Homo-oligomer: A and B are copies of this chain.
Amino acid sequence: MSDIIRQRRAEGRAILNGWLSIPSGISAEIMARAGWDTITIDLQHGMIDLPDAIQMLQAIGNTSALPLARPEWNEPGQIMKLLDAGAMGIICPMVNSAEEARRLVAACRYAPLGERSFGPLRASLIHGADYWKTANEKILVLAMIETRRALDALDEILAVEGLDGVYVGPADFGLSLFGNPDSEPEDERAIAAIASVRQKAQAAGRIAAVHNLSAEHARRMAGQKWDFVTAGSDTRILSQGAASYIQRFNDAG
């Protein structure tokens, strides 16, 4: 874990994470400068690919936000490349079993903890030639829990060495469990299921992280002692903001 994450945990405050889905270094730099603790480049559902992500990592480097990335899938090639490019953490989609969690850890950690291939081109450039010595300690590795299978395997997943924590994706979780991709669920069963992930994760000494769309929901989750909360993506801020401008223009008339 990087310093900001340790610090927030020491303060008992949730890490506040921003989210990037637009493939542009400009929007990334604007977002990253707003003051998030960490900011995640989403290569899974975002319209972002590796060349975009590299430019975005360079852009975020101009700010104080710690850059994380969500890869397209739990595949070692892209995960390792994002780390080589300077991402300081991975939020990996669809980790449904301990085996998949081990596969994730293997991609993120150098031997002997994992099997990350050596060649941290940009990471060494910005962090120095000794980067590899502290990489295993500093890189944040979160497994997304977002299906019934993952919920069933949660204990085993949490026991995987080298995993820092779990990250709940409520939309997929709701779709898998209850047929409803609700990102900020009001269904009591969904709320309870999500809460159970936090409890188990924290009981196991791991980080409990959760995706939210709104600041208010993120705040509520932080109040419930989640360690790491995402609040707000560039695309949502842009679409909501544009709608709000037009609404205010019309209302004001």
Whole-angstrom CA separation of A40 from B125 in the bound complex = 20
Interface bits A49-78 vs B (CB < 8 Å: 1, else 0): 111101100110110000000011101111
Nearest opposing residue in chain B for A146, CB measure: B117
The interface residues of chain B lying within 8 Å CB-to-CB of A54 are 23, 25-26, 47
Contact of A46 with B238 in the complex, beta carbons under 8 Å? no
* Any B CB within 8 A of the CB of A202: no
- Chain B CB within 10 Å, residue with most, of A18, A94, A117, A175: A117
Least CB distance from A142 to B in Å reads 16
Whole-angstrom CA separation of A253 from B12 in the bound complex = 13
Contact of B245 with A232 in the complex, beta carbons under 8 Å? yes
Contact of B72 with A81 in the complex, beta carbons under 8 Å? yes
Contact of B171 with A119 in the complex, beta carbons under 8 Å? yes
Interface bits A160-179 vs B (CB < 8 Å: 1, else 0): 00000000010110011001
The interface residues of chain B lying within 8 Å CB-to-CB of A185 are none
Chain A residues 230-253 with CB under 8 Å of chain B are 231-232, 234-235, 237-249, 252-253
Contact of B16 with A246 in the complex, beta carbons under 8 Å? yes
Whole-angstrom CA separation of A36 from B94 in the bound complex = 37
Contact of B118 with A175 in the complex, beta carbons under 8 Å? yes
Interface of A is mostly: helix
Contact of A246 with B215 in the complex, beta carbons under 8 Å? yes
Contact of A246 with B73 in the complex, beta carbons under 8 Å? no
Nearest opposing residue in chain B for A122, CB measure: B47
Contact of A249 among B16, B51, B58, B78 (CB under 8 A): B16
Interface-forming stretch among A2-10, A107-115, A191-199? A107-115
Which 9 A-B residue pairs are closest in the complex by CB-CB distance?
Answer: A45-B119, A73-B77, A219-B252, A34-B242, A72-B77, A237-B241, A215-B248, A232-B245, A61-B62
Q: Chain A residues in contact with chain B, CB under 8 A?
A: 16, 18, 21-27, 29-31, 33-36, 44-47, 49-52, 54-55, 58-59, 61-62, 71-73, 75-78, 80-81, 84-85, 93-94, 110-112, 115, 117-122, 125-126, 132, 146-147, 169, 171-172, 175-176, 179, 181, 214-216, 218-220, 222-223, 231-232, 234-235, 237-249, 252-253
Instruction: Pull 27 A–B residue pairs with CB atoms less than 8 Å apart, ordered by A.
Output: A21-B26, A21-B121, A22-B22, A22-B27, A23-B51, A24-B24, A25-B54, A29-B58, A30-B235, A33-B125, A33-B239, A34-B242, A34-B245, A44-B77, A44-B117, A45-B117, A45-B120, A47-B84, A55-B58, A61-B61, A71-B77, A72-B77, A73-B76, A115-B147, A117-B146, A232-B242, A237-B241
